[in-house]
């Protein structure tokens, strides 16, 4: 299986800024992001489950002030970083769409 580099592992710090990247979905390029939470890299399509808009406050800023949740900058929907499940706000019961990522050799990769 071929893969594409997303970023160097060191770029993702627990609760810190995420890295934005593009993935192909149904023949279109869509925004996605990678973050690190409790030592694990997580990837999601950059689209709120409540309204299809990008989550980040500023480029790459996905975590709320506590660094415990991912938060939509527009409506305040909050998501558990480890699962993408909505845990508060207007998206309750929904979840972010995951993107498969793997970490090896000091890099974060996604399938090509």
pLDDT tens digits, 37-92: 999 999 999 999 988 899 998 889 999 999 999 999 998 899 999 999 999 998 88
Of the two residues 75 and 23, the one the predictor is more confident about is: 23
Averaged pLDDT score across all residues of the chain: 95
> In the predicted model, is pLDDT for residue 95 greater than 90?
yes
Residue 23: strand pairing partners: 30
Interatomic CA distance for residues 50 and 81, integer angstroms: 16
Cα separation values, 78 from 29, 34, 58, 62, 83, Å: 25, 16, 16, 10, 12
For residues 15-32, average pLDDT = 96
Residue 85: strand pairing partners: 95
> In the predicted model, is pLDDT for residue 36 greater than 80?
yes
């Amino acid at each position: 299986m071929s893969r594409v580099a997303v970023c160097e592992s060191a770029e993702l710090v627990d609760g810190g800024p995420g890295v934005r990247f593009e993935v192909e979905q149904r023949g279109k390029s869509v925004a996605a992001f990678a973050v690190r939470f409790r030592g694990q890299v997580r990837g999601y399509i950059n689209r709120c489950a409540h309204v299809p808009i990008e989550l980040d406050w500023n480029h790459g800023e996905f975590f709320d002030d506590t660094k415990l949740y991912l938060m939509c900058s527009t409506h305040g929907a909050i998501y558990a970083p480890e699962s993408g499940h909505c845990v508060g706000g207007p998206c309750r019961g929904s979840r972010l769409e995951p993107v498969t990522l793997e970490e090896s050799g000091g890099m974060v990769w996604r399938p090509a």
